[in-house]
Amino acid sequence: MTTRRSRAARRGGPAAGFLQVEGRQPVLELLRSDHPVERVVVARGRHGAAVAELLERARARGIPVEEVDPADVRRWAQTEGHQGVLALAAPLPRYDLLDLLDRAAARGEPPLLVICAEIQDPHNLGAVLRTAEAAGAHGAVVPVHRSAPLGPTVFKSSAGALIHLPVAQVTNLSQAVARLQERGVWVVAADPAAAEPYDRWDWTQPVALVLGSEGRGVPPLLLRRADRRVAIPLAGRVGSLNVSVAAGVLLFEALRQRRAGLA
């Protein structure tokens, strides 16, 4: 790691046109992948096992590591939890709906997708994508508009899962739903008012789970277009769950059923 003032500092900060990843775990997850990385920036004086592994992986891949003044990192960072570590990488690949279905076919599995309908809180969107990747989903669908952008906050909230989970960004969610239905994918919306409990649905089928924002829920048009609606029964007085918690309940039920079907 250099001890001189970095090229990034001389240029006045990270360059535009790159994916900026912030935080030790997200940067480490980035380096564990084969995604192209231009450089890693670390605040001077940062130590610990996570930083040591990060530096080792960067060097093994021949990625420049630059040590800069902590004030520079704070100035460049776009999230509060950057932990003194940034990385500049190539933009995330662009995916189409069919790419997500092809990924499921390549695994020999029925598709399991997540449709994020107007989730505008980047922390919630990132947490949903993290959950989807952990549950073995084949991809996610996110609208171009009326959604949190897939930037540093979403990437960090996903704990780096965004580097592994393909995300198709679409201009029209209703049309995307129709395309999936045409290809035999059941579109199932999470709806607190639904009569069918989530664990009564057969998640071993090709499924696209629709999740909405915490305030509004799934938009009415998508609720009408969905093939089924399912609810998570609640025992307490609170009327709803955080969307990422709901995603965990539903997706891991899908994973449980699919594993049971292989037993």
> What pLDDT was estimated at residue 6?
41
Q: Which of 197, 262, 209 is nearest to 234 (CA)?
A: 197
Last residue of a domain, one of 56, 89, 122: 89
For residues 41 and 143, membership in a common domain is answered with: no
Q: Is residue 262 very low, low, confident or very high in pLDDT (cuts 50, 70, 90)?
A: low
User: Residue 186, Cβ neighbours under 10 Å: how many?
Assistant: 19
**What are 179-216's pLDDT values in tens digits?**
999 999 999 999 999 999 999 999 999 999 999 987 78
Mean pLDDT of 31-45: 89
> Residue 2 falls within a domain, yes or no?
no
Query: Mean of the per-residue pLDDT values for the chain?
Result: 88
Assign residue 103 the CATH number of its domain: 3.40.1280.10
In sign, the C-alpha dihedral spanning 132, 134, 137, 141 is positive
Alpha carbons 127 and 147: distance in angstroms, whole number = 14
pLDDT score at 75: 85
Domain that holds residue 17: 7-89
Most trustworthy range by pLDDT among 64-73, 83-92, 145-154, 192-201: 192-201
Query: What is the CATH number for 39?
Result: 3.30.1330.30
Would you state the pLDDT for residue 96? Answer: 94
